Amino acid sequence: MKILKKIFYGLMFSLLFTSTFAFNIGIAPTGFYTSLDKNETHEIMVTNNTVYPMRIEIDIEKDPGWEKYDMGDMMRIYPKNLTLKPNGSRSVRFAVRGTKDLPEGEYKAKLIFRELPGASKGDVEKMKTESGEDVGIEFELLTEIHIAAYGLKGERKIGAQLTNTEIKKESNGNRKLVANFNLSGNSALAVLGDIEYLDSNRKRIKKEEVKLGITTREPKTKIESDLANIPSGSRFIKVDFKDKSGIRLGSKELPL
């Protein structure tokens, strides 16, 4: 009987400074913010959440929208490949070295933790081909986790104008808040929203502060955020947008 291996990659994008245990790999912390005015080294702990030995490759890629402000070339990884025992952990160090002539502003790199195919785990499903030949299909779910690393050279300067917002209704019935901005500063926006859900008479049903997302550094950029747990009876939504530093970016009321 021939054995054919089918590999499926489970992909997870994680946010900065949260605890993540996804699929086969655990990552903590899930990202870091570093100074590019001096040399710094950051550590991330990688854990094998399985009962099998695991090999992991660590890489750096440019994040879409940050190509002009990529800091991957300023980083060195030690080690770039790990072998972990079952339920074992090991730290990976990221040495960041900014340059004196680097323009002031915010930079970013995408860190990738990629599980590599390993030895057979014995999960084989038998099947017959059209010719009647017996084959075994081995399925292997591999994890790939993307996390963000940000760096700041000099002072972070916010310059932004809210240009357009909308509620996008998806085919599955979910609603997504979309906000567009024009940037004139030297950093992205880490956008928070003070959200009020209003009834048909515009009476408040619920108010909450929500982390809406992080933009790119492109001059015209946007955030998209799912609206979860919309209170029953809500007909309008009012959002006061602000950066994580507290700078107000604009306000908008939209029908739901």
In this predicted structure, what is the pLDDT of residue 236? 95
Give the tokens for residue 77.
């990884």
| Separation of alpha carbons 228 and 193, rounded Å | 14
| Separation of alpha carbons 88 and 47, rounded Å | 6
Task: Report pTM.
Answer: 0.80
In this predicted structure, what is the pLDDT of residue 77? 96
In this predicted structure, what is the pLDDT of residue 17? 33
In this predicted structure, what is the pLDDT of residue 15? 38
Q: How many CA atoms lie within 13 A of 153 on its CB side?
A: 18
> What is the mean pLDDT of each successive set of 10 residues along the chain, which is 256 residues long?
42 39 78 94 94 92 93 95 94 93 95 81 52 54 87 94 93 90 95 95 94 94 92 94 94 94
Residue 13, Cα to own-chain centre: how many angstroms?
A: 4
Look at residues 37, 152, 149, 156 and name the one whose alpha carbon lies nearest to residue 98: 37
In this predicted structure, what is the pLDDT of residue 12? 41
Handedness of CA 183, 165, 242, 145 (dihedral sign): negative
In this predicted structure, what is the pLDDT of residue 123? 53
| Separation of alpha carbons 145 and 23, rounded Å | 9
Exposure string over 113-151, b if 16+ CB within 10 A, otherwise e: bbbeeeeeeeeeeeeeeeeeeeeeeeeeebbbbbbbbbb
| Separation of alpha carbons 16 and 193, rounded Å | 18
